[in-house]
Amino acid sequence: MKNAFFFLVIVFISLNVNAQSVQNALHFDGSNDYVQTTFPTITGNSPRTVEAWIKTTSNSNPSAGGVQHIITDMGNFVTGGRFTFNVLWSNAIRLEVGGSGLSGTIAVNDGNWHHVACVYNPTATNKISLYVDGMLDTTGNITTPVNTSTGTMRIGRRLDNARQWEGDIDEVRVWNFAKTATQIAAIKDEEICSSQTGLAAYYRCNEGTANGSNSNVTTLIDNSSGTNNGTLTNFGLSGSSSNWVTGVNITPAPNSDTILNVEACGSYSTPGGTFVTNSGAYTESLTNHLGCDSILTINVNIKRLSFLRDTIQACDSFRSTQGTLYNSTRIYSETFTNQVGCDSIVQIFLTIGNSTLDTQNIVECYSYTSPSGKTWNTSGTYTDAMNSVIGCDSVVVINLTIMDSVNTTISDTACAMYTSTANNRYFNSGSYREILMNAAGCDSIVTLHLLIHAATDSTIITNACDSFTSESGNSLWFTSGRYTEQLLNSNSCDSTITYVLTVDSATSSSLTYDVCEPFTSPGGMLLYTSGIYTDVLVNSAGCDSTLILNVTITENNPIVSKNGANLEVDIPELSYQWLDCNDANSPIADATMDMYRPSASGDYAVETTENSCRDTSECINYPRTAYTAHLRQTLIALAPNPANNSVRINSLIDYNYILFNHLGQSLSYGNTSEVINVIHLQNGIYYIKVITEDTIVTLPLIIEHGQY
């Protein structure tokens, strides 16, 4: 089958290879003509190749009275800093770098066109090679290193504005690599295109009209990929001298122009990728196999395609125009050739209707009307015949069931709200009537007796310490907030409890007390000895407030006794001040020791200071009461002493006692006839202060466990 959408006939191809036929050159008059280019030259010690076609009859040999003639020059006019391609000794080509140079041997001033080339390769054994007409003339080295300075290239004149060229120059090429002899010979006789690898500058010299009036043609075009054109300076630009002239006869640049005459059906895609649907001439610029421009002109003639649609209906089967038999509904296409030779496509929408015998089971309410218009009111089996929409026979056997409406009573209960089968919502108890549709599509009447139980809600406002457990015991909350809990009431309906909860925290703090007497804590404890105690109170929120009490109690209760002629105090290593009781307890000068010998009879007491706690002893009469005090002391004794488990105070009079260690810290206290338990004390010396009605006696107690 032919392609329905694209049919292409290429009728004619015309190839014009020599579209560019101008072959000009530049003639330099040897006086002041030159071309200044913008080519930035190849600097330093980099490799390079310079080529040109030249024609001259001038004498350049100094030994025969001639002067140097410059082809190209680049760089700067310093030693080693320029790269000057010229004709000099023996009228042969030469390379100079400023300071030294290398000359060829073949004379080129015979009035004929010659191709000349200069190659510099810094890595070769012989770094400089000179070629004439594609053949190696000479190769060698020079004494001055090549180090070309930054500058621009000049054609036909030296950089110091001397030594002009006299004659014709054509096809000037500069390459950024060192070409081989083979590479030079391969393309010296033909123009080239800008796509050549390594082509740094290229001047074909094909501008202007040979020997014509060219006063406005003063630009020498750079035909490389760069835009480093040259400017003609001091040229007359008229006639056969100092003007554009006929150039060397070499093969023109291989540009190619092509004409295609194309006939296509419906549409056409050009070689350049343009999709066209209308007849006309289209132009595209391509690149040929040599890398040069190729102008392609395409004359396109688009022929008409034919496309038709048709609709066909048939019973059971259908045979197409091309003989294909179809048994089912479908869309198909057939392709023919129209009067202009293109595809003519016919698209057929085919509907196949089958003659059918069908059985249907039908359930209806009250009565049924068949597709042909027959009506039946009772159940049974019936036959109905009709034509389909496309005229084909269709016989239907109907198994008919006639249904009646149904009445139903439902009793139900619900909490708060009830959704019926008919999707009605009820919020109150009562009897309701609903009409539904049964499975057969007939009315079904439902009588609903409904009892609605109410849900219960309550709110509890409460406080708790640290945490709170809900009524159900299923929730434990640690922070204040509003919480809800769902329970079931006696009717199994939701009971929502809302808790407005304030959670207070128990508190804990530490307090330090430094007191001079027995201390009552904030919780009511009476403390007689120093230590760390825990007191639990109730804070303002009703939660526990734990106090850690660090208590220091200083018991400074001095007792004065007479020892010989001295008065002594029973508490060692304190600060002391003896007082004169007969002089309003005034301090006695220089009486600050733990014993004092009065200089006169009287009543005396001592003031002791311990941990900033001050206490004053009872006044003692001196010397009248000394014997009485001594007598009472002898009536008080400890037994056993030393002791290990317990000790008893033997006294004929009633007393109170305090047991303290050598640091003065109170350990226990009591009264008459008590046995003092000391089993918990470590071995060492302790003191028991016995306090009677008229005297205080401090007795040393030695604890030695395991001795008695």
Could you report the per-residue pLDDT of 621-631, keeping only the tens digit for each?
Answer: 887 444 444 44
| pLDDT attached to residue 287 | 67
Given a contact cutoff of 8 angstroms between Cβ atoms, the answer to whether 303 and 317 are in contact is: no
Distances (CA, A) of 140 to 30, 68, 105, 129, 457: 30, 21, 13, 7, 116
Q: Which residue has the higher pLDDT, 298 or 491?
A: 298
For residue 502, list its beta bridge partners.
463
Q: Is the confidence at residue 291, as pLDDT, over 90?
A: no
At 591, list the tokens. Answer: 């009486």
Q: Is the confidence at residue 236, as pLDDT, over 70?
A: yes
Helix (H) or strand (E) holding 608: strand 602-610
What secondary structure letter does DSSP report for 519? Answer: E
At 160, list the tokens. Answer: 């110091």
138-183 pLDDT, tens digit per residue, is 999 999 999 999 999 999 999 999 999 999 999 999 999 999 999 9
Domain positions in the chain? 24-246, 256-301, 306-353, 356-403, 406-453, 456-504, 507-553, 560-625, 635-703
How does DSSP assign 488-515, residue by residue?
E-TTS-EEEEEEEEEEE--EEEEEEEEE
Given a contact cutoff of 8 angstroms between Cβ atoms, the answer to whether 576 and 592 are in contact is: yes
Q: In the predicted model, what is the mean pLDDT of residues 506-510?
A: 81
Q: In the predicted model, what is the mean pLDDT of residues 438-446?
A: 71
At 446, list the tokens. Answer: 């439902």
Given a contact cutoff of 8 angstroms between Cβ atoms, the answer to whether 391 and 315 are in contact is: yes
92-102 pLDDT, tens digit per residue, is 999 999 889 99
In one-letter notation, the amino acid at residue 139 is T
At 254, list the tokens. Answer: 């291989």
Helices (H) and strands (E) in the chain, counts: 2, 62
Q: Is the confidence at residue 16, as pLDDT, over 50?
A: no
Instruction: Please tell me the CATH code under which domain 24-246 is placed.
Output: 2.60.120.200
At 16, list the tokens. Answer: 């014009």
Q: How many residues does the chain have?
A: 708
Q: In the predicted model, what is the mean pLDDT of residues 307-336?
A: 82
Nearest to 179 by CA among 193, 204, 191, 196: 196
In angstroms, the CA 98 to CA 143 distance is 10
In angstroms, the CA 166 to CA 66 distance is 12
In one-letter notation, the amino acid at residue 574 is L
Q: What is the mean pLDDT of the chain?
A: 84
For residue 402, list its beta bridge partners.
364
In angstroms, the CA 648 to CA 668 distance is 14
| pLDDT attached to residue 629 | 47
Helix (H) or strand (E) holding 38: none
The radius of gyration of the chain's CA atoms, rounded to the nearest angstrom, is 67
| pLDDT attached to residue 19 | 39
Given a contact cutoff of 8 angstroms between Cβ atoms, the answer to whether 430 and 420 are in contact is: no
Given a contact cutoff of 8 angstroms between Cβ atoms, the answer to whether 591 and 578 are in contact is: yes
Q: Is the confidence at residue 234, as pLDDT, over 70?
A: yes
Instruction: Please tell me the CATH code under which domain 635-703 is placed.
Output: 2.60.40
Does this model's pTM top 0.95? My answer is no
User: Is 310 in a helix, a strand, or coil?
Assistant: strand
Residues with Cβ within 8 Å of 155's Cβ and at least 6 positions away in sequence, in order, are 26, 34, 35, 37, 71, 72, 165, 169, 172, 203, 220, 230
In angstroms, the CA 657 to CA 637 distance is 12
Cα end-to-end distance, the chain, whole Å: 136
Percent of the chain with pLDDT over 70: 90
Q: In the predicted model, what is the mean pLDDT of residues 565-575?
A: 84
266-275 pLDDT, tens digit per residue, is 888 888 788 8
**Hunting for tokens 């190839």 — which residue is that?**
15
User: Is 292 in a helix, a strand, or coil?
Assistant: coil
Number of Cα atoms under 13 Å in the Cβ half of residue 467: 7
Cis preceding-peptide flag for 700 (omega within 30 of 0): no
Distances (CA, A) of 168 to 28, 116, 136, 664: 6, 13, 22, 134
How does DSSP assign 561-590, residue by residue?
EEETTEEEESS-SSEEEEEEGGGTTEEPTT
